[in-house]
A and B are shown apart, each in its own frame.
Chain A
Amino acid sequence: MKRMTLARAFQLFFLLVFLVLFVKTEYRGSDTISAAINSFFRADPLVLVSYLAATRSFSWLLLPAVLTLLFTALLGRFFCGWICPLGTVLDLVTWRIKKSSPIRLLQGNLKYWLLLPIISSAFFQVNLSGILDPIAILVRALTFFLYPIFGDAVRSSWVGMYRLLGERRDHLAPAFAIFRDHLLPFRETFYPLAFLSATIFFAIIFLERYESRNWCKNLCPLGTLLGLFSRLSPLKRLPANLCSDCQACRSACPTAFDQDLLQSDACILCMQCRLACRQKRVKFIFARPLRGGGPMLPERRVLLGGLFSGFLLAGSFRFRRPEAEARLLRPPGAGSEAEFLKKCVRCGECMKVCLTGALYPAIAQGGIEGVFTPVVTPRLGYCEYNCSLCGQVCPTAAIPNLPIAQKRRAVIGKAVFDRNHCLPFARKTNCIVCEEHCPIPDKAIRSEVVQELDQSGRIIILQKPYLVEDLCNGCGICENVCPLDGKSGIEVFAVKDKTPLREELFVTGKEEGKEMVNGGVKEGTYTEDPYR
């Protein structure tokens, strides 16, 4: 590893902040999460630019990203060399990886062919920036792959200790509780696309075989975007090219000295060159923008071609299978599907924070343009009635941060009974576990008591459930708890009309509280009793 510099200290500090925020993006006993990993995305200009292009409106949540851009225009790509956690990870591993020669294919304009189509297709309503955003790539690799495996490994050994020690394991319980409450994922959730997320992440590390910071220099769309802005920067590294007598910068510089001339849009201000310079010639000074550091924009062919291919890209991913879309349940409060896709960064934070493990990355349900976006999967987890964490951590408010009273009324979908499976209908046995669990105070699932004959002709009393559609918010707990094996007897389906449930249905009764205290309710008036 290279020597400690101020830049290195910042890198390690931000990596630590990143990891702490990652672990803290979880329910830890409070209804609100004050600081989450979303701050990194809110300071991410790629998120900002694609958001602006797709929604054609600004969100104050993304103000930090505006600042990042301003500072980039002032200082250059400091973000890449001082802050970006993926860059730091690469710096931490790259010195152990032996380099062969760079891949020609990756060099040159390829980075623009990635960045420009992403931005222009966002303009044509398909925002794919999250797929290649470096921070999203890192968070997804952690959320879907590394963290679950880490959690599972620790928990399995904890379970193994029970097999070994039995009740005596309790002596170690306090130590484990600290681990569980502060470090581990609470639930063992495994995700689809874990393999893909991991593959992307490890492929980026694999690219370090060819040259250092290969991804950052040749591919990363965020880095490329910052590179464009860095050309405005008056902060210059002098001398601007390699000195003929030394050339040590070529090996010291991780990104910008492929040629004899410093590529200022690739300089990440790590300042390793200054450290390596024996003659103490290297300086970073503010000067008026000098000519000769390369053109402001990529050549016209690339610029127009990149923008046009984004238009083509936007059109090519649109197909969706209707039967998959019927179960495309978005987190609570998300607007129409089109609105949601414009804003979602696919960072996976909502899925990480989800209390019950209800959210999973879409594979094909939402078409290719929906890959990695969150989908409620009720059979695995339901939307907890009093929880609004996904909205709190969403960096772009694709899932809005609703006050809890509003979130309860937000419609995810509507439940539908399947009478061919549901026990009271299909097998004439009582059940109503769904009614029991329905969190709506007035119950969106109710049941009627009917008399029927069983197989031997005896009269039996059955409670047959039905849905009150006006009260159902589609939280999916009914589908989750249905005691049938495999397929549930009740399932939540997506609906076009996501108008929130009517507010008056959710009056808690506090208004009538005075009358009620001291048992003031009159005898006989309190039982809204369906069984009498």
Chain B
Amino acid sequence: MKRRVFLKVVGLSALCHRWLLPEAFAAAQPLVAVAQGKDHARVTRNAIAALGGMRRFVKKGDLVVVKPNIGWDRTSEQAANTNPVVVRAIVEEALRAGARKVKVFDRPCNDERRCYVNSGMTAALKDMKNVELKYIEKERFKKVALNGKVLSEWELYDEALNADVFINVPVAKHHGLTKVTLGLKNVMGVMGGKRGSIHRNIDEALADVNRVLKSHLVVVDATRILTAHGPQGGKLRDVKILNQVLASMDIVAVDAYATTLFGRRPEEISVTVAAYQRGLGEMDLKKVRVVRV
């Protein structure tokens, strides 16, 4: 009997190894989950599940901040803001994983009241328990030492800094200066002060901020993308429906992959390149494992 058990164990473990071994290596290799489908809530959940599920990021009792792009007074179909269905799905997942509270906010470019209402965010998160859709309050910005290449310090939002888990939920869209705007640039929404002035050196400035304010999870909304006249758009002819949601723990990798949705290569996007060179993640898509679900 003992020998049989021994053989079983050895055989099984060998069998497991054949599968487990690449997985172990893969842990070092950045992973981007790409989920596709028309049910955007489900697609979002699938993308997160492919990374190992929300429990990998959110522990019981955690304070979670979800940072979508709610920058503009545009409707969801115009693709200037993150799809509220995607945001709601993420919030639900975080609560299910045991989050004590989920805060959702952005520092919009247009009037914040209109942005929150017209983006669909107010309606999507209405009546959810332990969820707060909040306006930015000036007094909560804190000067943070960035010691970066171009920004030595900047005001960042305390609720984002204090969160146990920071989930970055950009919408994939065109941008006049940076060509595309994705996860790295979405972090501008928690920057205080005259943030427009970082445009003169935006690549390094964004790397500076992202180096300090780490996104634990990045979910890119590509259910529909804005392909021109970004970041605001306004015409539906500039919107392309892809029905995709991407998720990753590697902000550079997921940005790099999302860039290809616009028919561009990651090397063309200097924000991505700068972040890569600063060691914030992997931009070479050959070195990134893409899991489609």
Instruction: List residues of A whose CB falls within 8 A of some B CB.
Output: 27, 29, 159, 162-163, 167, 173, 186, 355-356, 384-387, 423, 429-433, 435-443, 447, 463, 481-483, 507-510, 512-513, 516-519, 521, 523-524, 526-529, 531
Say whether, besides A387-B114, A510-B236, A529 and B228 are in contact (CB < 8 Å): yes
Complex alpha-carbon distance, A441 and B262, angstroms: 19
Greatest chain A CB density within 10 A among B174, B201, B229 is at: B229
- Quick one: closest A residue to B159, CB to CB? A167
- Among B109, B114, B231, B243, the residue within 8 A (CB) of A481 is B109
- Among B117, B179, B236, the residue within 8 A (CB) of A509 is B236
Asked if A439 and B234 make an inter-chain contact with CB atoms under 8 angstroms apart, the answer reads yes
Asked if A384 and B177 make an inter-chain contact with CB atoms under 8 angstroms apart, the answer reads no
The residues of B that contact A27 with a CB separation of less than 8 Å are 111, 113-114
Asked if B113 and A432 make an inter-chain contact with CB atoms under 8 angstroms apart, the answer reads no
21 sample A-B contacts, Cβ–Cβ < 8 Å, listed by A number: A29-B122, A167-B162, A386-B118, A387-B111, A423-B200, A431-B199, A432-B176, A436-B177, A438-B232, A440-B234, A442-B229, A508-B236, A516-B236, A516-B237, A519-B243, A521-B237, A526-B227, A526-B228, A526-B240, A527-B263, A531-B179
B window 230-285: CB within 8 A of A? 231-243, 262-263
Interface size class of B (residues with CB under 8 A): 35 or more
The residues of B that contact A159 with a CB separation of less than 8 Å are 137-139
B52 at interface, CB cutoff 8 A: no
Known contacts A436-B177, A483-B196; 6 further A-B pairs (Cβ under 8 A): A162-B139, A355-B111, A384-B114, A435-B177, A483-B199, A509-B236
Complex alpha-carbon distance, A524 and B228, angstroms: 12
B window 140-186: CB within 8 A of A? 140, 158, 162, 174-177, 179
- Quick one: closest B residue to A435, CB to CB? B176
Shortest CB-to-CB span from A216 to chain B, Å, is: 39
The residues of A that contact B229 with a CB separation of less than 8 Å are 441-443, 528
Complex alpha-carbon distance, A437 and B158, angstroms: 26
Say whether, besides A355-B111, A508-B235, A516-B237, A523 and B179 are in contact (CB < 8 Å): no
Complex alpha-carbon distance, A531 and B202, angstroms: 17
Shortest CB-to-CB span from B75 to chain A, Å, is: 9
B window 191-220: CB within 8 A of A? 194, 196-197, 199-202
B130 at interface, CB cutoff 8 A: no
Asked if B200 and A442 make an inter-chain contact with CB atoms under 8 angstroms apart, the answer reads no
B110 at interface, CB cutoff 8 A: yes
Complex alpha-carbon distance, A481 and B176, angstroms: 16
Complex alpha-carbon distance, A173 and B135, angstroms: 11
The residues of B that contact A521 with a CB separation of less than 8 Å are 237, 240
The residues of B that contact A524 with a CB separation of less than 8 Å are 263
- Quick one: closest A residue to B109, CB to CB? A437
The residues of A that contact B122 with a CB separation of less than 8 Å are 29
Shortest CB-to-CB span from A429 to chain B, Å, is: 4
Greatest chain A CB density within 10 A among B175, B237, B243 is at: B237
The residues of A that contact B221 with a CB separation of less than 8 Å are none
Complex alpha-carbon distance, A327 and B239, angstroms: 37
Asked if B236 and A355 make an inter-chain contact with CB atoms under 8 angstroms apart, the answer reads no
Asked if B114 and A386 make an inter-chain contact with CB atoms under 8 angstroms apart, the answer reads yes
B73 at interface, CB cutoff 8 A: yes
Asked if B196 and A481 make an inter-chain contact with CB atoms under 8 angstroms apart, the answer reads yes
Shortest CB-to-CB span from B34 to chain A, Å, is: 15
Complex alpha-carbon distance, A315 and B100, angstroms: 70
Shortest CB-to-CB span from B197 to chain A, Å, is: 4
Complex alpha-carbon distance, A524 and B263, angstroms: 8
Asked if A356 and B111 make an inter-chain contact with CB atoms under 8 angstroms apart, the answer reads yes
- Quick one: closest B residue to A530, CB to CB? B176
Say whether, besides A162-B140, A436-B177, A527-B227, A508 and B241 are in contact (CB < 8 Å): no
- Among B110, B162, B176, B231, the residue within 8 A (CB) of A447 is B176
Asked if A429 and B200 make an inter-chain contact with CB atoms under 8 angstroms apart, the answer reads yes
- Quick one: closest B residue to A523, CB to CB? B263
Complex alpha-carbon distance, A508 and B233, angstroms: 10
Shortest CB-to-CB span from B62 to chain A, Å, is: 15
Complex alpha-carbon distance, A439 and B233, angstroms: 8
Asked if A433 and B237 make an inter-chain contact with CB atoms under 8 angstroms apart, the answer reads no
The residues of B that contact A439 with a CB separation of less than 8 Å are 73, 110, 232, 234
Asked if B232 and A509 make an inter-chain contact with CB atoms under 8 angstroms apart, the answer reads no
Complex alpha-carbon distance, A163 and B110, angstroms: 28
**Interchain residue pairs A-B with the least CB separation, the first 9:** A441-B234, A509-B237, A509-B236, A483-B196, A433-B196, A483-B197, A429-B200, A509-B235, A441-B235
Complex alpha-carbon distance, A121 and B10, angstroms: 105
Asked if A431 and B200 make an inter-chain contact with CB atoms under 8 angstroms apart, the answer reads yes
- Quick one: closest A residue to B200, CB to CB? A429
Complex alpha-carbon distance, A518 and B244, angstroms: 12
Complex alpha-carbon distance, A430 and B227, angstroms: 22
Asked if B139 and A516 make an inter-chain contact with CB atoms under 8 angstroms apart, the answer reads no
- Among B158, B202, B234, the residue within 8 A (CB) of A508 is B234
Shortest CB-to-CB span from B258 to chain A, Å, is: 15
- Among B117, B236, B240, the residue within 8 A (CB) of A519 is B240
- Quick one: closest A residue to B112, CB to CB? A186
Complex alpha-carbon distance, A442 and B179, angstroms: 16
Shortest CB-to-CB span from A448 to chain B, Å, is: 12
The residues of B that contact A442 with a CB separation of less than 8 Å are 229, 235
Greatest chain B CB density within 10 A among A355, A356, A433, A513 is at: A433
Asked if A463 and B263 make an inter-chain contact with CB atoms under 8 angstroms apart, the answer reads no
Greatest chain B CB density within 10 A among A423, A508, A524 is at: A508
Say whether, besides A437-B109, A441-B234, A516 and B239 are in contact (CB < 8 Å): yes
Asked if B109 and A29 make an inter-chain contact with CB atoms under 8 angstroms apart, the answer reads no
Mask for B89-124, Cβ within 8 A of A = 1, else 0?
000000000000000000001110110011000100
Complex alpha-carbon distance, A512 and B241, angstroms: 13
Complex alpha-carbon distance, A433 and B199, angstroms: 7
Shortest CB-to-CB span from A466 to chain B, Å, is: 13
